[in-house]
């Protein structure tokens, strides 16, 4: 068997390193301060022992560790790691002699018996093996002899292999009480490191995160406090970018106020999705522009300025020009699935049906203006000719819309949506008109006005 022992960095936990190591072999365990990998069953899949050793130990992949070693058994690999020895390339007969010279403090099972063994003159593994086994078992227990036999490969080893949990939910106790929301980021970064390892092992990207903190007090000034507070983060696309999630979390925490000091944090991934690994771009990735993507910028601005201050237009399948788009929070809109799309102008009246109607609908959409006014502007009429900064010349039209015209309460609820006067029936003929001073305009003629007189309105502008 081939064992590799990794020592995590002094400023990091061992669990993220162990989860990342599961990419190379399913046999990963945590023993003492080390992360152990048994790779004899998977080294062929990685192109052989040398290539696998290079990937893991030479840090050609993001697998952070301070030192590494390898051995024929797990206890030998741990002993070499503690002594700073990488491994052995000696012949089979020489390996036994090298193991006999290993100091006893490199064997975890001998730690409790070290003072007495040193007084008896036993300082190496070979000295301990030379003692009578019955006496060693009677004085120090059979566990010491069993560990020694396992280190030499004379008895089988038994380990608890790690596996990734089906759902990510991890908690930590803070080293000191956090009295403000930004102070929670130190502990949250440790949880995000665990999340990245879990996502990489599952080949997933996170869509929704929930950060929960536990208050250290139950009441303040006689007022009962909730047991915990929480913050929910959402991303528009599945991601493993912890730098972006960290910035997004910091922006949201800066806008929160803690009701009491916090002593523990819990991070839970409530929604994940498979991470796409194939780029749809025809351009090489090396020439990509550095910086945040559009959805990351929108999420950061929404967290910093508030969701109601970063809006985007959403198209609606509606025959009324005033209701063909709505302004909604940009971050919230990106999380909705199945947003209604515009497929034409339902409700439009044409003299013929079938394919001719669909073709006319598509043609009508081509002439829609770039910008709609909040409310249609009444135009002056001289000699049955509309005027806007001078007389208008009608170029294209008419395109007739005939239906009931109203806005209910839900239509007026979105930001940027103006209220339109309710009428029972409307008959509008739309034209593209030209003004010598204002350029192209989108105007319509209201056929049902006072005393059945035609009224003209300006509703849209062309860029």
Range from 165-169, 180-184, 377-381, 449-453 carrying the lowest mean pLDDT: 449-453
pLDDT of residue 458: 87
Burial grade of 283 (CB within 10 A; 0-12, 13-18, 19 or more): exposed
Residue 71 near residue 79, CB atoms below 8 Å:
yes
pLDDT of residue 379: 87
pLDDT of residue 289: 47
Mean pLDDT to the nearest integer, 181-193: 85
Q: Which domains does the chain have, with CATH numbers?
A: 3-151 (no CATH), 169-277+293-300 (3.30.1490.100), 355-461 (no CATH)
124 forms beta bridges with 103
- Has residue 158 got a pLDDT over 80? yes
Q: How far is CA 61 from the centre of its chain?
A: 21
Calculate the average pLDDT of the chain: 76
Mean pLDDT to the nearest integer, 120-132: 89
Range from 93-97, 186-190, 255-259, 361-365 carrying the lowest mean pLDDT: 361-365
Measured distance CA(389)–CA(438) in Å, rounded: 7
Mean pLDDT to the nearest integer, 379-395: 84
- Has residue 423 got a pLDDT over 60? no
Q: What is the largest CA-CA distance in the chain?
A: 123
Residues 6+ apart with CB under 8 A from 15: 30, 194, 197
pLDDT of residue 459: 84
pLDDT of residue 420: 42
CA–CA distances in Å: residue 16 to residues 65, 87, 210: 11, 25, 19
Measured distance CA(80)–CA(71) in Å, rounded: 8
If one counts every other C-beta atom within 10 angstroms of the C-beta of residue 181, the result is 19
Beta strand ranges found along 289-438 (DSSP E): 311-315, 325-329, 371-378, 380-382, 385-387, 393-405, 423-435
Measured distance CA(2)–CA(8) in Å, rounded: 20
- Has residue 89 got a pLDDT over 50? no
Q: What angle do CA 130, 131, 132 make, to 5 degrees?
A: 120
Supply the pTM of this predicted model.
0.60
**pLDDT, tens digit, 9 for 90 and up, residues 358-368:** 443 444 566 77
pLDDT interval class at 88 (50, 70, 90): low
Quote helix, strand, coil % in the chain, to nearest 5: 35, 30, 35
- Beta strand 219-220 with 223-224 is antiparallel
pLDDT of residue 268: 92
Edge-to-edge strand order for the sheet containing 455-461?
A: 371-378, 455-461, 439-446, 423-435, 393-405
- Has residue 62 got a pLDDT over 70? no
Nearest CA among 376, 373, 316 for reference residue 345: 316
**pLDDT, tens digit, 9 for 90 and up, residues 324-360:** 777 777 766 655 543 333 333 333 333 333 343 344 3
My answer on whether omega of the bond before 398 falls inside 30° of 0, hence cis, is: yes
Residue 6 near residue 31, CB atoms below 8 Å:
no
pLDDT of residue 448: 61
Residue 249 near residue 233, CB atoms below 8 Å:
yes
- Has residue 318 got a pLDDT over 80? no
- Has residue 18 got a pLDDT over 60? yes
- Sign, CA dihedral 260-261-263-266, equals positive
Range from 14-18, 21-25, 56-60 carrying the lowest mean pLDDT: 56-60
Nearest CA among 260, 255, 267, 266 for reference residue 178: 260
Higher pLDDT, 209 or 257: 209
pLDDT of residue 449: 55
Nearest CA among 343, 403, 378 for reference residue 453: 378
Residue 312 near residue 351, CB atoms below 8 Å:
no
Residue 207 near residue 271, CB atoms below 8 Å:
yes
């Amino acid at each position: 068997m081939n064992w590799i022992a990794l020592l995590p960095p002094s400023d990091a936990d061992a669990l993220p390193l162990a989860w990342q190591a599961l990419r190379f072999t399913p046999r990963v365990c945590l023993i003492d301060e080390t992360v152990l990998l048994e790779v004899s069953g998977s080294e062929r899949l990685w192109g052989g022992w040398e290539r696998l050793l290079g990937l893991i130990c030479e840090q050609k992949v993001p697998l952070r560790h301070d030192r590494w070693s390898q051995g024929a058994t797990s206890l030998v690999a741990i002993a070499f790691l503690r002594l700073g020895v990488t491994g052995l390339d000696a012949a089979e007969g020489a390996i036994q002699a090298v193991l006999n010279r290993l100091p006893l403090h490199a064997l975890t099972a001998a730690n409790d018996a070290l003072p007495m063994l040193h007084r008896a003159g036993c300082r190496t593994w070979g000295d301990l093996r030379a003692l009578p086994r019955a006496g060693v078992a009677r004085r120090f227990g059979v566990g010491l002899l069993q560990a020694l036999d396992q280190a030499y490969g004379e008895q089988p080893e038994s380990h608890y292999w790690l596996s990734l949990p089906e759902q990510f939910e991890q908690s930590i106790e803070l080293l000191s009480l956090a009295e403000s929301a930004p102070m929670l980021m130190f502990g949250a970064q440790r949880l995000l490191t665990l999340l990245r390892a879990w996502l990489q092992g599952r080949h997933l990207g996170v869509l929704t995160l929930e950060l929960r903190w536990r208050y250290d007090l139950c009441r303040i000034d006689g007022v009962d406090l909730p047991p915990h507070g929480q913050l929910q983060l959402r991303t528009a696309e599945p991601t493993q970018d912890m730098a972006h999630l960290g910035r997004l979390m910091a922006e949201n925490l800066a806008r929160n106020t803690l009701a009491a000091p916090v002593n523990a944090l819990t991070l839970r991934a409530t929604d994940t999705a498979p991470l796409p690994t194939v780029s749809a771009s025809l351009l090489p990735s090396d020439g990509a522009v550095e910086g945040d993507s559009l959805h990351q910028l929108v999420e950061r601005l929404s967290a910093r300025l508030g969701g109601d201050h970063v809006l985007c237009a959403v198209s609606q399948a509606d025959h009324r020009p005033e209701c063909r788009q709505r302004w909604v929070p940009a971050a919230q809109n990106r999380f909705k699935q199945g947003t209604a799309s515009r497929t034409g102008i339902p409700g439009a009246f044409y003299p013929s049906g079938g394919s001719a109607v669909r073709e006319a609908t598509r043609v009508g959409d081509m002439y829609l203006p770039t910008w709609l006014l909040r409310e249609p502007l009444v135009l002056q009429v001289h000699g049955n000719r509309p005027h806007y900064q001078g007389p208008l010349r009608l170029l294209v039209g008419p395109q007739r819309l005939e239906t009931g015209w109203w806005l209910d309460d839900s239509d007026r609820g979105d930001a940027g949506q103006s209220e339109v006067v309710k009428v029972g029936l409307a008959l509008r003929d739309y034209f593209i008109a030209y003004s010598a001073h204002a350029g192209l305009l989108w105007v319509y003629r209201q056929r049902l006005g006072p005393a059945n007189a035609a009224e003209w309105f300006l509703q849209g502008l062309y860029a």
